[in-house]
Protein backbone atom coordinates (compact mmCIF):
# COMPACT_ATOMS: atom_id res chain seq x y z
CA UNK A 1 0.00 0.00 0.00
CA UNK A 2 1.43 3.41 -0.93
CA UNK A 3 1.94 6.21 1.56
CA UNK A 4 -0.81 8.10 -0.22
CA UNK A 5 -3.25 5.24 0.33
CA UNK A 6 -2.31 4.91 3.98
CA UNK A 7 -2.81 8.65 4.47
CA UNK A 8 -6.12 8.52 2.61
CA UNK A 9 -7.32 5.59 4.75
CA UNK A 10 -6.32 7.54 7.85
CA UNK A 11 -8.28 10.57 6.71
CA UNK A 12 -11.36 8.50 5.92
CA UNK A 13 -11.09 6.84 9.31
CA UNK A 14 -10.93 10.22 11.08
CA UNK A 15 -13.84 11.53 9.01
CA UNK A 16 -15.99 8.49 9.77
CA UNK A 17 -15.18 8.68 13.48
CA UNK A 18 -16.00 12.35 13.52
CA UNK A 19 -19.23 11.80 11.64
CA UNK A 20 -20.38 9.00 13.89
CA UNK A 21 -19.44 11.03 16.94
CA UNK A 22 -21.29 14.08 15.71
CA UNK A 23 -24.39 12.20 14.66
CA UNK A 24 -24.65 9.52 17.28
CA UNK A 25 -27.92 9.54 19.06
CA UNK A 26 -28.92 7.31 21.93
CA UNK A 27 -32.01 5.24 22.59
CA UNK A 28 -33.11 2.70 25.20
CA UNK A 29 -35.48 -0.12 24.22
CA UNK A 30 -38.33 -0.95 26.58
CA UNK A 31 -40.90 -3.69 25.97
CA UNK A 32 -44.20 -3.73 27.87
CA UNK A 33 -46.65 -6.55 28.61
CA UNK A 34 -44.32 -9.49 29.12
CA UNK A 35 -44.57 -12.46 29.11
CA UNK A 36 -46.25 -12.48 25.77
CA UNK A 37 -46.86 -15.81 24.09
CA UNK A 38 -50.10 -15.95 22.12
CA UNK A 39 -52.08 -13.24 20.31
CA UNK A 40 -53.26 -12.40 23.81
CA UNK A 41 -51.55 -13.11 27.10
CA UNK A 42 -52.22 -16.30 29.03
CA UNK A 43 -52.42 -18.37 25.87
CA UNK A 44 -50.54 -21.60 25.65
CA UNK A 45 -48.74 -23.11 22.70
CA UNK A 46 -47.05 -20.21 20.96
CA UNK A 47 -43.77 -19.90 22.77
CA UNK A 48 -42.08 -19.33 19.40
CA UNK A 49 -43.52 -15.85 19.29
CA UNK A 50 -41.73 -14.95 22.48
CA UNK A 51 -38.43 -16.50 21.44
CA UNK A 52 -38.69 -14.92 17.97
CA UNK A 53 -38.97 -11.51 19.61
CA UNK A 54 -36.02 -12.14 21.92
CA UNK A 55 -33.89 -13.61 19.12
CA UNK A 56 -34.27 -10.47 17.01
CA UNK A 57 -33.01 -8.33 19.90
CA UNK A 58 -30.27 -10.81 20.72
CA UNK A 59 -29.01 -10.94 17.13
CA UNK A 60 -28.59 -7.17 17.13
CA UNK A 61 -26.90 -7.20 20.54
CA UNK A 62 -28.81 -4.31 22.03
CA UNK A 63 -29.83 -3.89 25.67
CA UNK A 64 -33.53 -4.07 26.56
CA UNK A 65 -35.86 -3.78 29.54
CA UNK A 66 -39.10 -5.76 29.69
CA UNK A 67 -42.09 -4.91 31.89
CA UNK A 68 -44.14 -7.77 33.30
CA UNK A 69 -47.87 -7.94 33.91
CA UNK A 70 -47.47 -10.18 36.95
CA UNK A 71 -50.99 -11.62 36.79
CA UNK A 72 -50.58 -12.70 33.18
CA UNK A 73 -47.73 -15.11 33.83
CA UNK A 74 -49.32 -18.42 32.89
CA UNK A 75 -48.13 -21.81 34.04
CA UNK A 76 -44.72 -22.58 32.61
CA UNK A 77 -44.01 -18.98 31.59
CA UNK A 78 -41.64 -18.18 34.43
CA UNK A 79 -39.05 -20.00 32.35
CA UNK A 80 -39.51 -17.45 29.57
CA UNK A 81 -38.77 -14.63 31.98
CA UNK A 82 -35.72 -16.47 33.30
CA UNK A 83 -34.55 -16.96 29.71
CA UNK A 84 -35.03 -13.23 29.05
CA UNK A 85 -33.06 -12.36 32.16
CA UNK A 86 -30.29 -14.83 31.38
CA UNK A 87 -29.80 -13.07 28.05
CA UNK A 88 -28.79 -10.04 30.12
CA UNK A 89 -31.99 -7.99 29.78
CA UNK A 90 -33.69 -6.19 32.65
CA UNK A 91 -37.16 -6.93 34.00
CA UNK A 92 -39.47 -4.38 35.61
CA UNK A 93 -42.97 -4.32 37.11
CA UNK A 94 -46.04 -3.38 35.05
CA UNK A 95 -48.68 -4.09 37.78
CA UNK A 96 -50.62 -7.31 38.40
CA UNK A 97 -53.67 -6.77 36.18
CA UNK A 98 -52.56 -3.92 33.90
CA UNK A 99 -54.65 -1.54 35.99
CA UNK A 100 -55.28 2.06 34.90
CA UNK A 101 -54.57 4.76 37.50
CA UNK A 102 -56.69 7.27 35.60
CA UNK A 103 -59.70 4.99 36.22
CA UNK A 104 -59.24 3.59 39.73
CA UNK A 105 -58.27 5.15 43.05
CA UNK A 106 -54.93 4.77 44.83
CA UNK A 107 -56.22 2.15 47.29
CA UNK A 108 -57.22 -0.32 44.59
CA UNK A 109 -54.10 0.44 42.60
CA UNK A 110 -51.82 -0.18 45.55
CA UNK A 111 -53.56 -3.48 46.36
CA UNK A 112 -52.76 -4.51 42.79
CA UNK A 113 -49.15 -3.35 43.20
CA UNK A 114 -48.81 -5.33 46.43
CA UNK A 115 -49.86 -8.46 44.56
CA UNK A 116 -47.37 -7.81 41.78
CA UNK A 117 -44.60 -7.15 44.32
CA UNK A 118 -45.21 -10.53 45.85
CA UNK A 119 -45.47 -12.39 42.55
CA UNK A 120 -42.36 -10.79 41.08
CA UNK A 121 -40.04 -11.41 43.99
CA UNK A 122 -36.83 -12.85 42.65
CA UNK A 123 -37.94 -12.10 39.09
CA UNK A 124 -37.25 -8.36 38.84
CA UNK A 125 -33.78 -7.04 38.16
CA UNK A 126 -32.03 -4.16 39.91
CA UNK A 127 -32.52 -1.15 39.73
CA UNK A 128 -36.22 -1.90 40.19
CA UNK A 129 -38.23 -0.33 37.38
CA UNK A 130 -41.91 0.40 37.19
CA UNK A 131 -43.92 1.35 34.11
CA UNK A 132 -47.47 2.66 34.44
CA UNK A 133 -49.95 0.73 32.23
CA UNK A 134 -51.41 3.11 29.60
CA UNK A 135 -48.72 5.50 30.90
CA UNK A 136 -51.50 6.62 33.24
CA UNK A 137 -49.96 8.33 36.26
CA UNK A 138 -53.25 9.41 37.84
CA UNK A 139 -54.16 12.81 39.19
CA UNK A 140 -54.10 14.75 42.44
CA UNK A 141 -53.93 12.80 45.66
CA UNK A 142 -54.10 9.37 43.95
CA UNK A 143 -51.10 10.26 41.85
CA UNK A 144 -49.12 11.38 44.87
CA UNK A 145 -50.01 8.42 47.06
CA UNK A 146 -49.00 5.92 44.36
CA UNK A 147 -45.78 7.79 43.68
CA UNK A 148 -44.94 7.60 47.38
CA UNK A 149 -45.69 3.87 47.39
CA UNK A 150 -43.36 3.34 44.43
CA UNK A 151 -40.64 5.39 46.06
CA UNK A 152 -40.94 3.50 49.35
CA UNK A 153 -40.61 0.24 47.45
CA UNK A 154 -37.44 1.42 45.67
CA UNK A 155 -39.00 1.69 42.23
CA UNK A 156 -37.62 3.91 39.53
CA UNK A 157 -40.42 5.07 37.23
CA UNK A 158 -39.58 4.34 33.61
CA UNK A 159 -40.69 7.18 31.33
CA UNK A 160 -41.30 7.02 27.57
CA UNK A 161 -40.10 9.57 25.03
CA UNK A 162 -40.99 7.72 21.81
CA UNK A 163 -44.25 5.80 21.71
CA UNK A 164 -44.40 3.37 18.79
CA UNK A 165 -48.21 3.08 19.15
CA UNK A 166 -47.61 -0.48 18.01
CA UNK A 167 -50.91 -1.65 19.49
CA UNK A 168 -52.75 0.09 16.63
CA UNK A 169 -50.81 -1.79 13.97
CA UNK A 170 -50.91 -5.01 15.96
CA UNK A 171 -54.69 -4.62 16.17
CA UNK A 172 -54.83 -4.39 12.38
CA UNK A 173 -52.81 -7.59 12.09
CA UNK A 174 -54.95 -9.43 14.62
CA UNK A 175 -58.10 -8.37 12.78
CA UNK A 176 -56.94 -10.34 9.74
CA UNK A 177 -57.93 -14.01 9.66
CA UNK A 178 -54.80 -16.01 10.57
CA UNK A 179 -54.87 -17.71 7.14
CA UNK A 180 -54.24 -14.35 5.45
CA UNK A 181 -51.92 -12.80 7.99
CA UNK A 182 -48.73 -13.69 6.24
CA UNK A 183 -49.74 -11.91 3.03
CA UNK A 184 -50.88 -8.82 4.93
CA UNK A 185 -47.92 -8.68 7.30
CA UNK A 186 -45.50 -6.81 5.03
CA UNK A 187 -47.96 -3.97 4.34
CA UNK A 188 -48.80 -3.49 8.01
CA UNK A 189 -45.13 -3.68 8.95
CA UNK A 190 -44.33 -0.99 6.39
CA UNK A 191 -46.97 1.36 7.84
CA UNK A 192 -45.71 0.61 11.35
CA UNK A 193 -42.10 1.42 10.48
CA UNK A 194 -43.12 4.60 8.64
CA UNK A 195 -45.02 5.69 11.73
CA UNK A 196 -42.04 5.04 14.03
CA UNK A 197 -39.80 6.93 11.62
CA UNK A 198 -42.10 9.95 11.98
CA UNK A 199 -42.18 9.58 15.76
CA UNK A 200 -38.36 9.64 15.82
CA UNK A 201 -38.30 12.86 13.78
CA UNK A 202 -40.85 14.44 16.15
CA UNK A 203 -38.88 13.39 19.22
CA UNK A 204 -35.65 14.77 17.79
CA UNK A 205 -37.32 18.11 17.16
CA UNK A 206 -38.77 18.15 20.65
CA UNK A 207 -35.80 16.93 22.69
CA UNK A 208 -32.74 17.86 20.64
CA UNK A 209 -30.04 15.49 19.44
CA UNK A 210 -28.24 15.09 22.77
CA UNK A 211 -31.16 13.74 24.74
CA UNK A 212 -31.31 9.93 25.03
CA UNK A 213 -34.69 8.67 23.88
CA UNK A 214 -36.69 5.89 25.55
CA UNK A 215 -38.68 3.80 23.09
CA UNK A 216 -41.86 1.98 24.07
CA UNK A 217 -42.95 -1.14 22.20
CA UNK A 218 -45.09 -4.06 23.35
CA UNK A 219 -44.52 -7.76 23.34
CA UNK A 220 -47.11 -8.62 20.69
CA UNK A 221 -47.65 -10.53 17.48
CA UNK A 222 -46.50 -7.68 15.24
CA UNK A 223 -43.21 -7.19 17.08
CA UNK A 224 -42.53 -10.92 17.02
CA UNK A 225 -42.13 -10.26 13.28
CA UNK A 226 -40.93 -6.65 13.22
CA UNK A 227 -38.69 -6.09 16.26
CA UNK A 228 -35.48 -6.51 14.29
CA UNK A 229 -36.56 -4.02 11.65
CA UNK A 230 -37.53 -1.50 14.34
CA UNK A 231 -34.04 -1.76 15.83
CA UNK A 232 -32.47 -1.50 12.37
CA UNK A 233 -34.50 1.61 11.62
CA UNK A 234 -33.03 3.35 14.66
CA UNK A 235 -29.54 2.13 13.82
CA UNK A 236 -29.86 3.42 10.27
CA UNK A 237 -30.79 6.81 11.65
CA UNK A 238 -27.56 6.88 13.62
CA UNK A 239 -28.82 5.64 16.97
CA UNK A 240 -26.89 3.51 19.40
CA UNK A 241 -28.90 1.43 21.86
CA UNK A 242 -28.10 1.89 25.52
CA UNK A 243 -29.64 0.46 28.69
CA UNK A 244 -32.56 2.18 30.40
CA UNK A 245 -30.26 2.72 33.36
CA UNK A 246 -27.77 4.65 31.22
CA UNK A 247 -30.50 6.65 29.46
CA UNK A 248 -31.95 7.76 32.80
CA UNK A 249 -28.52 8.60 34.18
CA UNK A 250 -27.67 10.74 31.14
CA UNK A 251 -31.06 12.46 31.21
CA UNK A 252 -30.51 13.32 34.87
CA UNK A 253 -27.03 14.67 34.18
CA UNK A 254 -28.40 16.85 31.39
CA UNK A 255 -31.20 18.15 33.60
CA UNK A 256 -28.73 19.03 36.34
CA UNK A 257 -26.42 20.78 33.87
CA UNK A 258 -29.37 22.73 32.46
CA UNK A 259 -30.47 23.72 35.95
CA UNK A 260 -26.96 24.83 36.80
CA UNK A 261 -26.70 26.92 33.63
CA UNK A 262 -30.07 28.51 34.39
CA UNK A 263 -28.99 29.41 37.90
CA UNK A 264 -25.77 30.88 36.61
CA UNK A 265 -27.66 33.08 34.15
CA UNK A 266 -29.98 34.18 36.93
CA UNK A 267 -26.96 34.96 39.13
CA UNK A 268 -25.16 37.06 36.51
CA UNK A 269 -28.37 38.93 35.74
CA UNK A 270 -28.84 39.97 39.36
ZN1 LIG B 1 -48.93 -2.38 29.12
- Centroid of ligand 1 to alpha carbon of 133 (angstroms): 5
- Centroid of ligand 1 to alpha carbon of 132 (angstroms): 7
Rounded Cα distance, 34 and 73, in Å: 8
CATH class, 25-269 region? alpha beta
Tell me the per-residue pLDDT of 231-262, one tens digit each, with 9 for 90 and over: 999 999 999 999 999 999 999 999 999 999 98
Whether residue 49 contacts residue 38, with contact meaning beta carbons closer than 8 Å, is answered with yes
Q: Among residues of the chain, what percentage have pLDDT more than 70?
A: 87
Tell me the per-residue pLDDT of 69-126, one tens digit each, with 9 for 90 and over: 999 998 889 999 999 999 999 999 999 999 999 999 999 999 999 999 999 999 999 9
Question: Which pLDDT score, from 0 to 100, does residue 17 have?
Answer: 45
Question: Which pLDDT score, from 0 to 100, does residue 20 have?
Answer: 45
Q: Per-residue pLDDT averaged across 147-151, rounded?
A: 98
- Centroid of ligand 1 to alpha carbon of 97 (angstroms): 10
Residues ≥6 apart with Cβ < 8 Å to 35: 41, 50, 68, 72, 73, 74, 77, 80, 81, 84, 219
Residues ≥6 apart with Cβ < 8 Å to 191: 169
| Strand-pair partners of 218 | 32
Q: Where are the domains of the chain?
A: 25-269
pLDDT tier, 24 (very low <50, low <70, confident <90, very high otherwise): confident
Whether residue 116 contacts residue 140, with contact meaning beta carbons closer than 8 Å, is answered with no
Tell me the per-residue pLDDT of 121-142, one tens digit each, with 9 for 90 and over: 999 999 999 999 999 999 999 9
- Centroid of ligand 1 to alpha carbon of 33 (angstroms): 5
CA proximity to 73, closest of 91, 56, 55: 91
- Centroid of ligand 1 to alpha carbon of 45 (angstroms): 22
- Centroid of ligand 1 to alpha carbon of 254 (angstroms): 28
More confident residue, 15 or 58: 58
Amino acid sequence: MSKFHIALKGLIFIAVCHLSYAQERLVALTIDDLPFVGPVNNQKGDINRFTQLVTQIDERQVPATGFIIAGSIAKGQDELLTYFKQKGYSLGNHTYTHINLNRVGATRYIADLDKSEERLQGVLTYPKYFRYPYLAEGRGNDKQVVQEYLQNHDYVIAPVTIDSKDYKFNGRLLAVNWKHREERLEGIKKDYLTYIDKQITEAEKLHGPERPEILLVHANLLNSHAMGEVIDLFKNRGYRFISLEEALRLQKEQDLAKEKAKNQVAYTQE
